[in-house]
Amino acid sequence: MMQDSPVPVPALTEPSPPAHRTTRDLTKAAVSGWLGTAMEFMDFQLYSLAAAIVFNKIFFPDVSPAIGLIAAMATYGVGYVARLAGAVYFGRMGDRIGRKKVLVITILLMGGSTTLIGALPTYAAIGILAPSLLVLLRLIQGFGAGAEIAGATVLLAEYAPVRRRGLIASLVSLGTNSGTLAASGLWAILIGVLSEDQLLSWGWRLPFLLSFVLMLFAVWLRRGLKESPVFEERADVVDGVAMTRGEVESTIAEEGEHRVDVLAAGIRQRKGRAFFLALGLRLGQAGNSGLIQTFLVGYIATNLSVGRSVPTDAIVYGSLLGFATVPAVGLLGDRYGRRPVYMAFSLLTAVIAFPVMFLIASGSAAAVMLGMVLGLNVGVLGLFSLESVTMAELFGSRTRFTQLALAKEIGGILTTAIGPVLAASLTAVTGSWWPIAVMLIVYSLITLVSAYLAPETRGRDLVRLEDAV
């Protein structure tokens, strides 16, 4: 009787010396992470503005203006559905074959689909096929974007020197400002210099087509980037590919070295606690962002007697100030630890929620500006800076990419999809602004409790396979 031959197991070699990365390598990684996040937010902002301004007229012209706007916004929303699928698919791939390879693929998907949107025939040229192709490209764009910011965060955190990890990882957050400002600036120029006929016939295509140049630069930069040193040093990575769970268990059964204990810690730990803590940290930032950057812009323009440009101008000024806020908070986290700074910013956001909303509801343009800028920098960008590094440190290297991507996307969907709708319903029922302040407090307290329950992660060895809790 023949016996089954044993399944071959990758050889367990001695741990390699720490991978060396120069200052030039770190600079390339930082620029790559910033640029990819900037592209993600620019692509989505380009589309959201186009959906509100022109897409209802060129892709859905045979319906009423109101229905056309709804249809255009619906195609915007399908991208968020695809993001969750992308988080799962590319997160697992990034943990298996490396961060760099996945980030090249995601930037190609995002940039390529955005460019092709600018080349789409309109409804007048090909009928119903035009909006169908638009939805398809939005799905591809979202599929790539679902892992982009998580991958960039993981790469930068794993590249950064331990003492400056908070500062370096926070640079990913600056990409959100850069992308939003770039997209808004491009559309402002087009609207300012082109007639409506020019904008509808060819002008709307320019921002999408120009993104091709940015994509080429980003791909070139990432292809020349070295793999994350943490990924290369992982005990379960052999010849650039992570062992499967079965291979790890076979190795543990056959070997008796210290490194086996390291491998066992990565697969035998009960998962879940770190993920839910990270999700709680994410809910505060994403929830506050949905209220301040999305809902309040429309609420102010509709309900207050100030110029329609005041809330959007406030977001621009707040984003510009964010270029100082984000790295400053990153430095505070490096000096005092993640937990105390996280708790301080969450508590501060809760404390200023009613004063901020009182300023906004006063109807004074200056007060609205001050309230929006303050809320954006404390409750959104300050927490985003901390989120970038803390969530990466909470997870073990074996599943860091996957868990971080899922926490970000699930947290974003729960808050940015539901939060503005809930806020609109509550303000309509009460006829007042106070429910918005209450929601800001609730989101911030969720993050405060999560930060309190989380361990201090500053200085954690990111090569460890297991989660921090």
- Residue range 253-265: mean pLDDT, rounded: 65
- Residue range 384-398: mean pLDDT, rounded: 94
Query: Tens digit of pLDDT for each residue in 424-467?
Result: 888 889 989 999 999 999 999 999 999 999 999 999 999 999 99
Reported as a pLDDT band with limits 50, 70 and 90, residue 93 is: very high
Residue 23 pLDDT: 83
**332 pLDDT above the threshold of 50:** yes
Pair of tokens at residue 65? 């203006």
Largest Cα–Cα distance of the chain, in whole Å? 89
Average pLDDT, the chain: 85
Query: Tens digit of pLDDT for each residue in 181-224?
Result: 888 788 888 888 888 888 888 998 998 998 898 889 888 988 88
Reported as a pLDDT band with limits 50, 70 and 90, residue 305 is: confident
**253 pLDDT above the threshold of 50:** yes
Reported as a pLDDT band with limits 50, 70 and 90, residue 263 is: confident
Amino acid at 205: R
Lowest mean pLDDT among 261-265, 366-370, 392-396, 439-443: 261-265
The Cα 90–Cα 261 span in angstroms is 28
- Determine whether 246 is exposed, middle or buried from the number of CB atoms within 10 Å of its CB (0-12, 13-18, 19+): exposed
pTM of the model: 0.86
The Cα 397–Cα 445 span in angstroms is 29
Which secondary-structure segment (H or E) carries 242? strand 241-242
The Cα 52–Cα 152 span in angstroms is 29
Query: Tens digit of pLDDT for each residue in 122-137?
Result: 888 888 888 888 888 8
Question: What string of DSSP letters covers 108-146?
Answer: HHHHHHHHHHHT---HHHHTTHHHHHHHHHHHHHHHHHH
**16 pLDDT above the threshold of 60:** no
Q: Which residues, 6 or more positions from 18, have their beta carbon under 8 angstroms from its beta carbon?
A: 229, 233
Question: What string of DSSP letters covers 225-236?
Answer: SPPPHHHHH-TT
